[in-house]
Structure 1
Amino acid sequence: MITIKTEEEIGLLRENNLLVSATLAEVAKHVAPGVTTLELDRIAEEFIRSHGAVPGFLGYGGFPNTLCVSVNEQVVHGIPSDYALREGDVVSVDCGTVMKGFYGDSAYTFAVGSIDPQVAKLLQVTKEALYKGVAQAKAGNRVGDISAAVQQHAESNGFSVVRELVGHGLGRDMHEDPEVPNYGVRGRGPLLKEGMVICIEPMINMGRRQVVFEKDGWTVRTADRKPSAHFEFAVAIRKGGPDVLTDFGIIEKAIS
């Protein structure tokens, strides 16, 4: 069931998602060769709790940590560990919060030092695909308009779209209806209505689109072990166009 949010509820969702953005910015300051993914997780948990929220992922469905940290060929849901980041890695950091009864959820893929130019292109195109999808997130359009925009941009640049994992509605639960795939056909799927809040999250692979679910029960990686990238926005649907609740500007200021 798709729930329509009130202005007050959208305000609480914005508050959560801005905290997620600030948390990712804090994490970004520490992304460097030699830093373990578990250390990034600790930094995020302390930051979230110090701002009056609790980690949205910790314990969610049994997930053991605050962040999903997915390195290189890991697509999503990587479990933080003693793995130390290396020069040339790319690392997707997905973060969630719960505060005042609502969730925040966003992801950003970071370069660790200097990375291969083709991998840099993958990150750039994935982020562009996110913005292309977001531009379609307005009342009167359909989910398929978002999906098709993401798919077209990724595939026209020679990359592939993961199909087993999708975006979703966001509210009092982290995963609400509707599902928001990153592939599809314009004019198809649920109608977008004023007051819906969704997460749009392209997961784009450098090689083939096929993925493997690891034995830990969480980590998803590319079948061909080529790199993957992941960016995610929370967006409120408005008649005049998308109202993005996430702020990548905070994160990118921390990187620069």
Structure 2
Amino acid sequence: MGIPLMKGVEIERLRLAGQAAAGTLAHVGARLAPGITTAEIDQWVREDTARRGGTPSQLGYKGFPAAVCTSRNHVVCHGIPRADERLMPGDIVNVDVTTCLGGFHGDTSATFLIGEVSPEARHVVDVARRCRDAGIAVVRHGAKLGDIGAAIEELARQEGCSVVAEFGGHGIGHQMHGPPHVSHVGRRGTGITLRSGMVLTIEPMVNLGRPHIRVLPDGWTVLTADGSLSAQFEHTLLVTREGHEILTPPPLPGGC
């Protein structure tokens, strides 16, 4: 399958979907506090997505039972919200929102600090955010896909962290997941050449310990194999001639 190049009205609809997803993420993030259940997060995502005229892209995707992924502490990704899982002081939790609006998808996530957290937790969250931004910084027409993973992996290693290799970013547009697969590890100058009009996500999963993972019997929840903390940040990007456009910008300055 070829990689679609978006233009005109398609880009405008992608902007609207991305803004909706980012707005929902910000809405939920502002309400997080000790004692909140991850099931409440799921309900907030459903309600706010509907209020913005969209639908949760993740709900029912390949059988996923929720409208959002909530990945807490040593959960790397695809955590399933539960009524019996409460956020505790010192936790970190990733909230991954994908919104379908007008036939297009916007995908974004951030890891939030719950109350006072340890220096180690603060470190891995900070590194994950900076790794996402390092990957974004190399995106431009003519760059190689491998440049993204190389930039992310180099920074993580410098900071004493590791990057999960089994999961990556992806193309996005009319479908939530499409080509290309965007690895968060790699070598510069390798892979396909990025072209203006490509839309993709960059969403590195950064572990405080080793990069190895394991999957729970539910088939979804991914954990660090060594029990170390993991954090993730994600944006949806449009490749442009000048560089890139973030399609999931935080609605307020200083956001995620």
1:64 is matched with which residue?
65
Q: Tell me, yes or no, if the aligned pair for 1:21 and 1:106 is still in contact at 8 Å.
A: yes
The one-character-per-residue Cα deviations of 1:163-186 (angstroms, maximum 9, x if unpaired) are 110100011111111110100000
Hey, what's the Cα distance between the residues in 2 that align with 1:126 and 1:71? 14
1:12 is matched with which residue?
13
State the one-letter code of the partner of 1:19: A
The alpha-carbon deviation at position 94 of structure 1 amounts to: 0.4
Alignment of 1:1-256 (within 5 A): 1-82=2-83, 83-248=85-250, 250=252, 252=254
The alpha-carbon deviation at position 8 of structure 1 amounts to: 1.4
SS in structure 2 at match of 1:216: coil
SS in structure 2 at match of 1:250: coil
Hey, what's the Cα distance between the residues in 2 that align with 1:33 and 1:196? 40
State the one-letter code of the partner of 1:205: N
Hey, what's the Cα distance between the residues in 1 that align with 2:92 and 2:141? 35
Q: Tell me, yes or no, if the aligned pair for 1:193 and 1:238 is still in contact at 8 Å.
A: yes
Q: Tell me, yes or no, if the aligned pair for 2:23 and 2:251 is still in contact at 8 Å.
A: no
Structure 1 ranges of 4+ moved more than 4 A: none
The alpha-carbon deviation at position 251 of structure 1 amounts to: 8.3
State the one-letter code of the partner of 1:119: A
The one-character-per-residue Cα deviations of 1:132-159 (angstroms, maximum 9, x if unpaired) are 1101110000110111001101111000
Any unmatched runs of 5+ in structure 1?
none
The one-character-per-residue Cα deviations of 1:35-65 (angstroms, maximum 9, x if unpaired) are 0000011011000011111111001111111
TM-score (norm 1): 0.97
Q: Tell me, yes or no, if the aligned pair for 1:24 and 1:251 is still in contact at 8 Å.
A: no
State the one-letter code of the partner of 1:140: G
RMSD (Å), alpha carbons: 1.2
State the one-letter code of the partner of 2:174: R
Hey, what's the Cα distance between the residues in 1 that align with 2:21 and 2:116? 26
Q: Tell me, yes or no, if the aligned pair for 2:26 and 2:251 is still in contact at 8 Å.
A: no
Hey, what's the Cα distance between the residues in 2 that align with 1:123 and 1:11? 31
State the one-letter code of the partner of 1:61: K
Q: Tell me, yes or no, if the aligned pair for 1:25 and 1:251 is still in contact at 8 Å.
A: no
State the one-letter code of the partner of 2:50: R
SS in structure 2 at match of 1:139: coil
Hey, what's the Cα distance between the residues in 1 that align with 2:232 and 2:192? 23
CA gap of 1:246–1:38, structure 2 versus 1, over 3 A, is same
SS in structure 1 at match of 2:238: strand
The alpha-carbon deviation at position 7 of structure 1 amounts to: 2.4
Q: Tell me, yes or no, if the aligned pair for 1:125 and 1:157 is still in contact at 8 Å.
A: yes
The percentage of counterpart residues that share the same residue type is 40
State the one-letter code of the partner of 1:74: V
Any unmatched runs of 5+ in structure 2?
none
Hey, what's the Cα distance between the residues in 2 that align with 1:250 and 1:19? 13
Hey, what's the Cα distance between the residues in 2 that align with 1:63 and 1:216? 10
Q: Tell me, yes or no, if the aligned pair for 1:127 and 1:231 is still in contact at 8 Å.
A: yes
Hey, what's the Cα distance between the residues in 1 that align with 2:12 and 2:116? 38
